[in-house]
Structure 1
Amino acid sequence: MQNLRPWLGTLTKKQLFTLFFVLAAIVASALSALVWMFFLKEPVGNPMRIAVVAPFTGADKAQGEAMQRGVDLLVQQINRKGGIQGRMLAMEKIDEGTSADSAIQAARKAETDPDVIGVVGHWHGAAAAKAIPLYGEKSLPAILMTSAPDKSLPENPYVFRPLIDETTEIRFLANYLRNVVGEKTVFVLHEANPRGEQLATAFDEVYQRFGTKVLYKWPLTPGKMDDELKAVVAEVEAKKLFGTFLVLGEVESAIRMIATLREGGVRQRIVGMRQLASRGFQDGFAAEWKGKGTPAAALNGTLMTTPMLFDTAGERAQKFQTGFSGFHHTWPDWVAAYAYESAKLMSEALAEGYGKEGDKTLRQRVREHIAARNQVEKAFPGINGPLFFNARGIAARDSMVGLYDGASLVAAMTQLSPIREEGVTNLLGEVTSGRALYVNDRFMYKTNVVYTGVRLAKVSALDRSANTVEIDFSVWFRWRGDFEPQDVVFTNAVTPLTLEKPTREGKDGDMNYRAYRLRGKFYMGYSDIERNYGTQLVGLSFHHRTLGSHNLMYVSDLLGMNLVNRAQGEAGYPPDSQSGSGAEAKPKEPTLLERVRAYFHLDEEVTDPIEVALNRDKVLAGASGWLIMRAWLSQEVMPRGVDGSPVFVGFGKPRPLFSLLDAGMVLKPDRFDARDVLHSTDQFVYLAIFSFVMSMLARLLDRKDRGQFWRIQTLFLRMIFWPTLLMTIGNLARDYSLQNFTSSTVDGVVMVFDTLWFFIPARLAIIALERFIWVPLENRTQRKIPNVLRMTVVLIVYLLAGFGVVAFVMDKSITSMLATSGVMAMIIGMAVQSNLRDIVSGIMLNIERPFNIGDTIRLNNSMGVVSDITWRTTRLTSLDGQQISFPNSKTSDAEIQNFTKPRNIKRNLDVYTDPRHEPAFVLKLIKECLAQVKSLPTDAPANEAPKAYYFGVTLKEGAWVAHYPVGMYMPFAKRKAAIQEFWQLLWKTFEANNIAWRERPLQASEDDEGSDGAV
């Protein structure tokens, strides 16, 4: 340390401060490393893995890529939030191949990896059948994506299936075609293998139950499919066959079947199974199509069963779709959605079980967590609705029916929903009336689908205190059938709204259309949608007044809102088949700026087409200060009150569930938020540590007063790092309280930190006043500023901060407080106005400094030495020793003569002699005397040198005398001594040279008040 001191002494102040700052940064980095090592570091070096076992090569690789993208999205979302209890999550990509042997190898690779805690995948039924037993050996839970029949797969308590098997699905499709579509003639094209034969037979069996059968079945051999398809087209043309074509095959086979039929001129309806609803089919068909027109025209009207439709799904599915498209720059399909949902179910099990019950492995915890989802009350809130499994690990979900409108997949106008076992007692009556069907050995309702769109025009009058907002919007309905879907109830309307006179209406064939324009006041926060603290949920929701979800389902009319294809084009995603391109389109290469924004996750919600439309239409023009964080138009099935309606009340009656359409958006304040830059909790912790260390550095440097430079630097440190420390700790405390405390406690925590945002700047302002006003003023005046003045200023600053808290944190009016404060200030001011005037005058005197302590001054008619200057009075000691006090207000108004401020003062003397003496000789004698006066300054400038003149002969008191004026500059303190010395020397000189004086020579008085005083 002693060796360092000489070196430190050679550094400038700036260099020394930089050195201290760097050392503090090193300390902060070391503390951050320790916190990471002991608290934030992953408990185990290797991340936990979810294996995706799927076809990544061969004809079905598109399905494997969809599963991979779904799981990869979940992994990225979890790791962005710091992992699962500090441990990262990873995805293991394993190719299941095309044979049973390769599937076994893939399964063994997954189950032998100790870090793999679950498997998502297996597209092929044969591969899944071989792999299932292996997962039981190592207790590895697996969620299968295969559609193989239940009977073809062995049972294993570690294996779960969220999809219905394809045998049930083909029977459902047969019932739908026969009873809903009314199609009696169906032609089947299927792969020439056991699976194709089995599906074709199952379909035919259902048709035979209704008194008809499939007349034509064409098995197609994979190696000879092209020639066989051309023969089928020729046969159809030759025999003039008219009906519906059912294509049964994997994605590649289905593409070739449909493309050959359409290219051959077959225009009849085509139907299929879930393979036709995948993104792999859509992209593959666009690449395969070589016929006339666009791929969209060829696909238009194609109908298929599908596990999921995004326009009928809820807000979770909408959020997944937006996140998926923003991350992968392509649109998801049901394959990616189910893979994401399966991986999320596993990750939830890890989050709840990790670190607990040390005698169980992670795999066992995952399996037990999934198996516990065994009834609707315990269902997992999946993106496609509640997910739960029966005792065999099979999910209780049903198929939906989709339809290609061009290249866009939308819900068919009629869906089938199951009737529970203890449902309606008169089931046969429901079937006879046409409201229900008997499908797959159970009764199902025929549910009418209504395409519904909502366009928010303007949002205004956002009142947080009343929790209301005014919305101007349009709503429309497109439907088939004889009912009134616009008889709706707005669930969050402040006053009831009714749809009376439509702005537009029409009919296209059997399709009805009505549109309405409304304006109303709605409650905010109308649902429990997940959102951050401080945001506002704005929107509207409605359901039919009397028709439950088994009779009517609202779906988002994305086509009618012109969102689907526009969003793809704007986001730069691969174009759909409407582009007419025969080759598979590739994503647009991102720019450098886009790469940077993607790296920092700044574009997560930008690709949301609904949000883009709302921003384009300036929906928030009437609600300034807010930004759209995310938006959606989704359909949910929710329980609602029925006011005792007999349709829903009583044993065996359907549950009172209604299809509810929700058009909402989450708004955030239009201001900077730390979450826009810092995305993980770890980043907040590290920044808090750095800010704390720098705040402590400022405190250490202030322990000793080192001068104004260091005061400025430490204040600068506080101004930067106190708000940063408050921001980081506030966000951490808010996030922790949101997860662990009640809403009232959260509000209290937030209020505390919001209050500190006013008092921290107030404290910084007080420090700045102390360092740049009070201390310099004391140094200049050499007087201590009264504490009463300091405390008054501090009180005023904190009072202003308190007003800010009341106005902006508590959102209360401060008018009455300001009025009360003004009256009190007026009363106090009137009571102490004279003292305040003296204090203000004292401040001005200290600033202007017309005199200092020890100066000799003349104040009005009093002359003396300044002995003291306080904040109220100025004190003089007169020449005769008296103490005189003047109020500062009178001192500042008085005429002040300062005799100490000038370096020297001038004294004028008059010398008179007999006029008979030679003037030149007399002047010589006077000047010799002036040169001998020791009290005069020797270093005076030339203009202050002593001078003497001959002024002629004048009549003085009845006698003629010669007049010699004399001028001398001297210090004020030596004025009397200099004058006395001069007169003594002059008297001796005149006497020695016989210069005649009058009996009493006329001379100036030595009194300071005489005419010969300083002029």
Structure 2
Amino acid sequence: MAGHGTEGSKIIKMLKDRKINHTILMPDSFASAAFQNSFENYPKERETPGFYTNGLYVTTPLIMDTANEKGQQFVDEFVETYQHSPGWHAAFAYDAAMLLYHAIKETGIQGDISNRVKDRIAIRDCLTKINSPDIAIEGVTGFNYFNEYGDAQKPVSIGIYKNKNIVSSLTQLQIVNNIMDIDNVETELKRKRLLYIDNQYMYLTKVVYTGIKLLKISNLDIRSMSANLDFYLWFRFQGDFESHEFSFSNAIGDIEIEGPIKRKNRDDIQHHLYKISGIFHLDSFEDPPPFGRHIVGFDFRHNNLARNNLIFVVDVLGMGDELTLSSKNIAKLKHILMPSSKWCLDRIVCFQDTSEVSTLGIPEFINLKDGVVKYSRFNYGIQIKKSQFNFREIFPRSIDQYLILFGSIFLIVTILVNKKQLFPKMINTIWLAQLFTVLMLFKCFELMLLDWLFIKTTLEKLVLVKMIIDILWWLIPAFCINMAVNRFIWVPLEEKTGRKIPSVARRFIDTLVIVLAVFGIVAYVFGEKLTGLLATSSVAAMIIGLGIQMNLSNIFSGIALNIERPFRPDDWVKIGDYDEGKVLDVSWRATRIQTRDTAIIHIPNGVVSESNIKNFSYPNKNIEQFIDLDIDARYPPARVQKIIIDALLSVEEILNYPKPFTRLKGITDWSVIYGVYYYLDNYAKKMAIAEAVWKRVRAHLKRAGISRAIKREMVFLADAKEQESECHVEPLNILQDIDVFKPFPDDAKASLSQRIHACVFRKNEYIVRQGDEGDSLFIIIEGAVKIQLRQPDGKTIDLAALGAGKFFGEMALLTGETRSADVIAISETHLIEITRDDIAPIMQQYPDLSNLLAEVLANRKQRNEMMIEDSDNTDIEDQKTPRHIVGKIMQYFGINK
């Protein structure tokens, strides 16, 4: 029956009320809590819970009785939090969030909203790489990975409703991914381990419900990591099953197995009960317990049937509340572990997973590519802990990270409060709160670290780490004592005397406390006597004193530098004759400078304090820079200075305020020296900005026909006139440099150069206005303009500044579009204008120019839009833009396609 749970529940009710007891198979929409709860208001359901759902078969990607250890832990914590069992939707949602967390962690995403598109692509690519079982991420639903289509590879299981619970059907079908893995297909078909349905081979997988009742734990020995267990083991299954063919992987010696002591058969459902006693290794599961806890339990698998033909599942119905260590059954389980063992029960673990066993070259499994056979493995254990007070009992493991987070925040806040002296009357209270927080943070960190290392490393290394932690338990209180001395002694003295306590005195007391802590470490952590240590300390003090004498000057100079603060880290400075560079740090002995060639210079503090210090970053980052130009004396100074200012106004890297300026600095026999002055706020880019300034000034001077002076000897003939190179201001030469006109043939450029018009605009005069109609393009010959965008709220944004050789208005010229921004002259600006009428004859003569011009316009338009805002256009839109512009050009000039 296909359909949704809400509508399907009505049909199920009618079938059940009419006692129509056909076998009903339904999709996963009927495996939800909403479907089950839809019957709660009916009298028959209230009288007999599960009346309407018992016996219904559903397809579902996850059944909790087949969940792994992570899945069982998820169920336990879900029930503890929400007081009801989770559905498969919750488990898959948890794994989806886990995979996203894994991808975010692997890609190092920081959550910057401006990078959200790149971050999403990075997450997608990371998830795409999880494409095989070998690199799958294990979660509560099993191993998570994706196929080539991006689909999660999850088997579909058949479940059956029993007492409002979905349990695995006694028979499951699994698709054979590689038929070559099976040695003899015909034999497997005859044994009914393999089916051929709809041109597809499928494993016939038997599901065996497995239950455990633990009777007693005795002879618990933590040193040998073993214990004696007595328990009942039962199997409930359908059809033939060799229930006695199982073996334990963590058993020590021979295991006493009685049975089956009971056999029952009802409606082709068989039940076999065994009683087992033996010695088993502790902590035998793949995931070890937290540090300080142990798992007492066992695991077993079938000797003959692989996982494709047999799956052990937890008998949820048979074991009942013995699956969890709840308040209801904890009294019943107390007798399992005697109090004299000094251990108590902590948690019950029961799940199934997969065991991989080597084929050992057996011919039957010779075709398996990995050389291993996968068996269904059943695991049962009880986690035990010491019967004593534990800090862990106060705060559960799940909130350790939150304790560290909030404790760290509280500690930082209280430290800042103390420094700001916001609550001077609460000094003692704040100090006690800080002390408690520090100890709590360190204890949480210790427990988390030991838990993690217990899984990741050996016992020897764990002992070493524990010793280091014991050392820290001496050093951290020493740090706390130093804080107390600062709070209760130094600060009151400074407030009373109005003078700062010398750092030497502070550090002497701090060092003394640390030395005493070191003595304690030597005596109590390492177990050494202090007599010899104290005897050698005096000799060490003399040696240290002689060594310090050489550096006293640098140390006191470092103190002076830290008090006066002539520079700070990241400031650009020049110290004495050393190269200028960025300050990295100032230690007690030396100052480190990184020069422009990334070399690190260590300058002794004594040298720094005696040298001239030039700071380029403090107190104001605006630094004046200049370059000198030698210009031929025949050019009027006013015109030269105007051209230079125009060039500076078009350089985006320099500051607009203070304004750039130029000065006539002097005259030589062969030139006039002009100083070009500008300001920058990023001294680290001084060289790059100087290069940009020089390029723009040179371009503007060249465009204006002004050449730099070169010291040379010239011979003039009588009546000869000075010749100036004006070729660069010829209209044809100008057109040669403009991107829009590069596709034009030479004869078309020559023709167009005869039609252009010159125009002049005064400073602050509008050349074009945003939204106006227009049909012309402007090329800047001299001067500078700024591009300004008006927003709907009336505010304006300066997009760019253009100088000589630049152009604007190409869209209006070629497509007739309205002006997209205001263009304002920054200084007196000379332009040449090309109109639609000037270019129309050429477009008619060369219609193929439309395609070439469209490419140029598309690229320029994309660059212009990127200056306004980030573009999210797709590749398809970018491909359409040139064709769209071609149509507009042809329509505008009346060109037939």
Could you tell me the TM-score, scaled by structure 2's length?
0.47
Choose between structure 1 and 2 for higher RCO, CA contacts under 8 A separated by at least 6 residues: 1
Could you tell me the TM-score, scaled by structure 1's length?
0.42
Higher strand share: 2
Larger Rg: 1
